[in-house]
Structure 1
Amino acid sequence: MERCRSVKLRLGLKKLQFKVKDVHFHGHILSAKGLKPDPDKVRAILDMPNPSDAKVVQRLIGFANYLAKFMPHLSAVCEPLRRLLDKDTPWHWLPKHEAAVQEMKSLASSMPVLRYYDVMKPVTIQSDSSQRGLGCCLMQEGQPVAFASRALTPTEQNYAQIEKECLSIIFSCQRFHHYLYGRDLVIAETDHKPLIAIFSKPLLNAPKRLQSMLLTLQNYSLKVIYKPGPEMYISDTLSRATTQCTGRGTVYQRQAICSLQQEQQDVQQINQADYLNVTDHRLAQIRQHTDKDDWLSQVGHT
Structure 2
Amino acid sequence: MARLPAHNITCNADKCTFAAEEINFLGYRVTATRCHIDVIQRMQEATNVKELSSFLDTCNFYLKFIPFYAYIAEPLRMLLCKDVPWEWTDSLAQAFTTLKEKITSPPILALIQMPLRILPQMH
TM-score interval, smaller chain: 0.5 to 0.7
Query: 2:14 maps to which residue?
Result: 14
User: Alignment partner of 1:78: what SS?
Assistant: helix
Match of 1:92 among 87, 95, 99: 87
2:79 and 2:105 map into 1 onto residues whose CA distance is 26
Instruction: Tell me the CA shift for residue 93 of structure 1.
Output: 1.6
Query: 2:59 maps to which residue?
Result: 64
Instruction: Tell me the CA shift for residue 43 of structure 1.
Output: 2.3
Tell me: CA distance 1:51–1:69, structure 2 relative to 1, closer, same or farther (3 Å).
Answer: same
- 1:160-199 aligned at under 5 Å gives the runs none
User: Alignment partner of 2:15: what SS?
Assistant: coil
Larger Rg: 1
Q: How many residues align?
A: 110
User: Alignment partner of 1:75: what SS?
Assistant: helix
Query: 1:272 maps to which residue?
Result: none
- 1:280-291 aligned at under 5 Å gives the runs none
2:63 and 2:21 map into 1 onto residues whose CA distance is 25
- 1:42-121 aligned at under 5 Å gives the runs 42-68=37-63, 71-112=66-107, 113=110
**Normalising by the residue count of structure 2, what TM-score does the alignment of the two structures yield?**
0.64
Larger proportion of helix = 1
Residues 84 and 91 in structure 1, CA contact (< 8 A), matched pair in contact too: yes
Q: Write the letter of the residue equivalent to 1:3.
A: L
Tell me: CA distance 1:3–1:58, structure 2 relative to 1, closer, same or farther (3 Å).
Answer: same
1:32 and 1:4 map into 2 onto residues whose CA distance is 28
RMSD: 3.3
1:23 and 1:69 map into 2 onto residues whose CA distance is 26
2:102 and 2:22 map into 1 onto residues whose CA distance is 23
Among all aligned residue pairs of Structure 1 and Structure 2, give the percentage whose two residues are the same amino acid.
Answer: 26
Instruction: Tell me the CA shift for residue 92 of structure 1.
Output: 1.8
Tell me: CA distance 1:97–1:71, structure 2 relative to 1, closer, same or farther (3 Å).
Answer: same
| Cα deviation digits, residues 138-192 of structure 1 (max 9, x gap) | xxxxxxxxxxxxxxxxxxxxxxxxxxxxxxxxxxxxxxxxxxxxxxxxxxxxxxx
User: Alignment partner of 2:14: what SS?
Assistant: coil
Query: 1:26 maps to which residue?
Result: 26
Residues 28 and 38 in structure 2, CA contact (< 8 A), matched pair in contact too: no
2:64 and 2:27 map into 1 onto residues whose CA distance is 12
Residues 70 and 111 in structure 1, CA contact (< 8 A), matched pair in contact too: no
Structure of higher RCO (CA pairs closer than 8 Å, 6+ residues apart): 2
Tell me: CA distance 1:48–1:90, structure 2 relative to 1, closer, same or farther (3 Å).
Answer: same
Instruction: Tell me the CA shift for residue 24 of structure 1.
Output: 4.7
1:115 and 1:69 map into 2 onto residues whose CA distance is 19
Residues 21 and 32 in structure 1, CA contact (< 8 A), matched pair in contact too: yes
Residues 71 and 111 in structure 1, CA contact (< 8 A), matched pair in contact too: no
Instruction: Tell me the CA shift for residue 5 of structure 1.
Output: 4.4
- 1:132-281 aligned at under 5 Å gives the runs none
**Normalising by the residue count of structure 1, what TM-score does the alignment of the two structures yield?**
0.30
